[in-house]
Structure 1
Amino acid sequence: MDIMDHDAKRGKKVFATIKSIAPMLVPFLSAFCAYFVLWLPTADPSPFSALVKCLPVLCLGFFVLVQAFSLGALRPYSRKVLLGLVFSALGDVFLTWGDRGYFIHGMVMFGITHLVYTSAFGLRPLKPWIALSLLVLGTLFYAGVYSYLAGPMVYAMAGYTLVLLAMSWRAMARASCPGYIWSWGRGCVLAGAAIFIVSDLLLAIDRFCLPLPHARYVVMATYYIAQMLITLSVADHSDRDRFWKRS
C-alpha cells in the first residue's frame, strides 16, 4: 500500500511538472509549426530562412532561461544544455548555406553541441559496454558511407560520428544505472539521444548516399523533437542528480 501511495505521489508530481512547463513550450511549438508551414526553399538561402530554421532551438533556449528564472538560478546542468542549444543554432545557420561550402562548419558546431551535452550528462556510471556497442554500430555506419565521402568530409564524418556516439553513450548510461530511481527527465534524454541518431543518420544517407523521400521533413522533425526532449530534462534536474558526482 505504501508503494502504491508512493507511486501515486510520484505520478501526481510528474503530471504537475508537465502541466507547469507546458505553457513555456508554446514559443517552441509555434516556431516548430512555422518552419513547416513556411517551408522556405533551401536553394535560395537568406538570413530570414536561417532565422526560421534556428528559431525553434532558440525558443528552447528561452525555455531553459525561464525554467532557471523560476528556480532562481541557472544550474550547471541547465547552463550546459543552454550552451549546447546555442551551438546548435549556430550549426543551423551554417547548414542553411550548407550547399555553398558551409556544411562542415555546421558539422563542427553540432559536434561541439554533442560534446557539451556529453559533459552535461556526466561520466558516471561509466557503462563501457554501452560505449563498445555503440562504437561497433558507428563503425558499421561509417564503413557504409565511407565510399561516398571525399576530401575533408572523410575525417569530418569520422569525428562527428564519434562525438554523436559519445553523447548517446552518456545518455544511455545515465538512464541504465541500477538501484537508482528512474525519472522522466532521464527518459527524455535517452529518447532525445536516440532520435538525434536517427535524424543524423537519415541526413547523412540522404546527402551522401542516395536521396530519401521526404527526407527534409523527417530529418528536421526528428531533429527538433530530439532537441526538445533533451531540453525538457532541465525541468527534472534536481538535487538528487548529485548522485552522479558521488558515484
Structure 2
Amino acid sequence: MTKPLNVLKCVGPKLVPFFKTVAIYFVLYGSSESTSILFCIAKCLPVISLVFFVLLHGMSLNEYYRYSRLILTGLFFSVLGDVFLVWKKSYMNFECGLLMFAVAQVNYARAFGFWPFNPYAGGVFVGLGLLVYSYLSPGLHGMMEILAPMYLGLICIMGWRAVARVQFFDDLWTWTKLCGCAGAICFMISDLLIAVDKFVVDVPFSHQLIMVSYYAAQLLISLSVVDSQVEDIIRLQTKHDNPDVIDNAKRHVKSLSHHLNKENVKYQLEHLSTTVDNVKENLSHRVDYVKENLSHRVDSVKENLSHRVDSVKENLSHGVDCVKENLSHRVDYVKENLSQGVDTVKDRIGHLSDQITVSNVKGQLGQLGGHISNHFAGQKRD
C-alpha cells in the first residue's frame, strides 16, 4: 500500500500547476461567475492541469494503463462540460454540459470497476438517489425530466463503485482508493448543490461551494491514478491465470518498482539538496546573529566603560572640590584662631603695659638693689 506521505512527496510538485490555477480562478472569479472567454479559460485550467498530472504518471494503450486512460477520458469530458456550463443560460448548453459530465461519470465508474460488487453500498446509493430525485422533481421540466434522473443514476453508480472498491472491512483499502472514494463523494455534493440551486432554491455562496467541492473532487479522483498500474496488474492476474500474463505482469511490476526507485532517489537527492541549502541558510543566519550580538555587546561594553570613566571623573572632580572646600574652611579657621590669639596677646600686652609704670619700675629697681647689697654684705662677713 502506498503510504500517504510517499504519495505527497512524489506527487506534490506535479500538483503545483493545479493549485496555482485554482488560486488564479478564485482570485479572478471567486465572488461570481461570468460568461467571458477569460472566465472559461480560468475555469478549465485546473482540470486541464490534472490531465497533465495523469499523463505524467504514465500512459499507454496496453491493459496496465486502463484505469489511467478512463480517468483521463473523464477529465477530458469534464473540461467539455465546464465549457458548456460557462454559457449555461444559452439554448441547450446546460443540457449539453450535463451530457458531457454524464460521459465523465460513466468513465469514472468504469475505472473504479464492478468488483467487489458490495450490494449494501449500492442499496444505500439507490436510496440516496431516490431521495434526491423526489426533492428535485417538482422543479424539473421539459428535457430535464429525462436528463436529470439519468445523470442522477449515473453519478450514484459512480459513487457506489468508488465506495465499494475501498474495502474497509477486509483491510484491502489503499490511500489512492480512499482518494477516489472521497473524490466521488465531493463530486456528488458539487452536483447536488448545482441541482438544488438551479431547480429548487437559491443556495447561499453557491458559486464558491460548488467550485471548491468540484475542484476537490477532480483532484482526489486524479490522485487515485498514482498506483493504479499495480491494481491493474493484480486484476489481470486474477482474470487471466496463465504464465504469459503473469510473466508480463512481473516484468511490468519490476519496471514500475525501478521507476519508483528512481523517483525516490531523485526525491531524496532533491530533499538532500534542500536540506543542505536550509543548513547553509541557518548557519548564515546564526553567524549574522552572533556577529550582531557581539557588536551589540562590544557597543554595550564601550558604553559602560564610558559611563564608568565619566563617573570616576565626576567623582574625582567632586572629591577635589570637597578637599579644596575643606582646606579653605580650615585655613579660614586657622586664620580666625590666629587673629583671635594675636588680639588676645595684644590685649594682655596692653594690660601689662598699663600696669607697668615708672614709679613701679623705680621701686622694683630699688628693691632689687637692696637685695643685691644685702647679698654682698653677707658674703663679706663670711
Q: Taking structure 1 as the reference length, what is the TM-score of the superposition?
A: 0.88
Q: Does 1:233 align with 2:195?
A: no
- Whole-Å separation in 1 of the counterparts to 2:153 and 2:235: 23
194 and 227 in structure 1: CA distance in 2 versus 1, 3 angstrom threshold: same
Higher relative contact order (CA 8 A, sep 6+): 1
Q: Does 1:150 align with 2:123?
A: no
Equivalent residues in 2 for 1:186-197 (5 A)?
186-197=177-188
SS at match of 2:165: helix
Quote how far apart the aligned CAs of 1:182 are. 1.9
Quote how far apart the aligned CAs of 1:130 are. 1.4
- Whole-Å separation in 2 of the counterparts to 1:50 and 1:240: 35
Q: Does 1:135 align with 2:116?
A: no
- Whole-Å separation in 1 of the counterparts to 2:7 and 2:200: 43
Overall identity of the aligned pairs, in %? 38
Equivalent residues in 2 for 1:63-212 (5 A)?
63-68=53-58, 75-101=65-91, 102-176=93-167, 178-212=169-203
**Alpha carbons 1:183, 1:236 under 8 Å: kept:** no
Quote how far apart the aligned CAs of 1:137 are. 1.1
- Whole-Å separation in 1 of the counterparts to 2:90 and 2:231: 47
**Alpha carbons 1:121, 1:174 under 8 Å: kept:** yes
- Whole-Å separation in 2 of the counterparts to 1:240 and 1:228: 20
The code of the aligned residue for 2:28 comes to L
The code of the aligned residue for 2:77 comes to F
- Whole-Å separation in 2 of the counterparts to 1:127 and 1:244: 17
Quote how far apart the aligned CAs of 1:74 are. 7.8
Q: Does 1:219 align with 2:210?
A: yes
Quote how far apart the aligned CAs of 1:213 are. 0.8
Deviations 1:129-172 (A, max 9, x none): 21121111111110111011110011110000000001001101
- Whole-Å separation in 2 of the counterparts to 1:80 and 1:212: 33
- Whole-Å separation in 2 of the counterparts to 1:186 and 1:211: 34
The code of the aligned residue for 1:153 comes to M
The code of the aligned residue for 1:163 comes to L
Quote how far apart the aligned CAs of 1:177 are. 6.2
- Whole-Å separation in 2 of the counterparts to 1:124 and 1:180: 15
The code of the aligned residue for 1:64 comes to V
- Whole-Å separation in 2 of the counterparts to 1:100 and 1:159: 22
Aligned residues: 233
Larger Rg: 2
- Whole-Å separation in 2 of the counterparts to 1:39 and 1:167: 29
Quote how far apart the aligned CAs of 1:238 are. 3.5
The correspondence for 2:45, drawn from 34, 45, 55, is 55
* Structure 1: tracts of 5 or more residues without a match: 1-9
Q: Does 1:45 align with 2:35?
A: yes
Quote how far apart the aligned CAs of 1:180 are. 4.9
**Alpha carbons 1:125, 1:177 under 8 Å: kept:** no
Q: Does 1:16 align with 2:6?
A: yes
Deviations 1:173-223 (A, max 9, x none): 101265353210011011111111111111111111111111000000000
The code of the aligned residue for 2:67 comes to Y
**Alpha carbons 2:70, 2:111 under 8 Å: kept:** yes
The code of the aligned residue for 1:29 comes to F
**Alpha carbons 1:138, 1:165 under 8 Å: kept:** yes
Bigger shift: 74-83 or 173-182? 173-182
* Structure 2: tracts of 5 or more residues without a match: 240-382
**Alpha carbons 2:65, 2:229 under 8 Å: kept:** no
Quote how far apart the aligned CAs of 1:241 are. 4.3
* CA RMSD, 1 decimal: 2.0
